[in-house]
Amino acid sequence: MIEARDLHYRYEEEGDVLDGVGFRIEPGEKMVLLGANSSGKSTLLKILAGLLFPSRGSYSYKGKPVTRGALRKRDFARAFRREVGLLFQNPDAMLFQSTVYDEIAFGPRQFGLEGVEERVRRWAETLGVERRLGRPPFHLSGGEKQKVCLAAVLAVDPEVLLLDEPTSHMDPRSTGWLVDFLRESGRTTVVTTHNLSLAAELGDRTIVIGENHRLIYDGPIGPLLEDREALLAANLMHAHKHEHDGLEHKHFHTHDWD
Contacting positions for ligand ATP (CB under 6 A): 11, 13-14, 17, 35, 37-43, 89
Provide the angle, in degrees to the nearest 10, between the axes of the packed helices 142-154 and 116-126. Answer: 140
Look at residue 13 and give the partner it binds from Mg ion, ligand ATP, none, a contact being a CB closer than 5 to 8 Å depending on partner kind. ligand ATP
Look at residue 118 and give the partner it binds from ligand ATP, Mg ion, none, a contact being a CB closer than 5 to 8 Å depending on partner kind. none
Distance CA 170, CA 198 (A): 13
In whole angstroms, how close is the CB of 219 to ligand ATP at the nearest point?
20
Distance CA 61, CA 71 (A): 12
Buried b or exposed e, range 137-165, using 16+ CB within 10 angstroms: beebeebbbbbbbbbbbbbbbbbbbbbbb
Burial label for 50, CB within 10 Å (0-12, 13-18, 19+), is buried
Nearer to ligand ATP among residue 31 and residue 116 (C-beta): 31
Q: Which amino acid is at 197?
A: S
Nearer to Mg ion among residue 42 and residue 146 (C-beta): 42
Q: Which amino acid is at 179?
A: V
**Does 188 help bind Mg ion (rule: CB under 5 A)?**
no
Stretch that binds Mg ion, among 84-92, 133-141, 171-179, 218-226 (CB under 5 A): 84-92
| Cα 90 to chain centroid, rounded | 11
State residue 195 phi and psi, 5-degree precision. Answer: -95, 105
Nearer to ligand ATP among residue 11 and residue 138 (C-beta): 11
Site for Mg ion in 212-241 (CB under 5 A): none
Nearer to ligand ATP among residue 130 and residue 211 (C-beta): 211
Size of the residue set binding Mg ion (CB under 5 A): 3
In whole angstroms, how close is the CB of 28 to Mg ion at the nearest point?
25
Look at residue 43 and give the partner it binds from ligand ATP, Mg ion, none, a contact being a CB closer than 5 to 8 Å depending on partner kind. ligand ATP
Distance CA 148, CA 132 (A): 9
In whole angstroms, how close is the CB of 17 to ligand ATP at the nearest point?
4
In whole angstroms, how close is the CB of 38 to ligand ATP at the nearest point?
4
Buried b or exposed e, range 99-108, using 16+ CB within 10 angstroms: ebbbbbbbbb
Look at residue 67 and give the partner it binds from ligand ATP, Mg ion, none, a contact being a CB closer than 5 to 8 Å depending on partner kind. none
**Does 193 help bind Mg ion (rule: CB under 5 A)?**
no
In whole angstroms, how close is the CB of 13 to ligand ATP at the nearest point?
5
| Contact between residue 35 and residue 206 where contact means Cβ atoms under 8 Å apart | no
Measured at CB, which residue is nearest to Mg ion? 42
By the criterion CB under 5 A, which residues form the site for Mg ion?
A: 41-42, 89
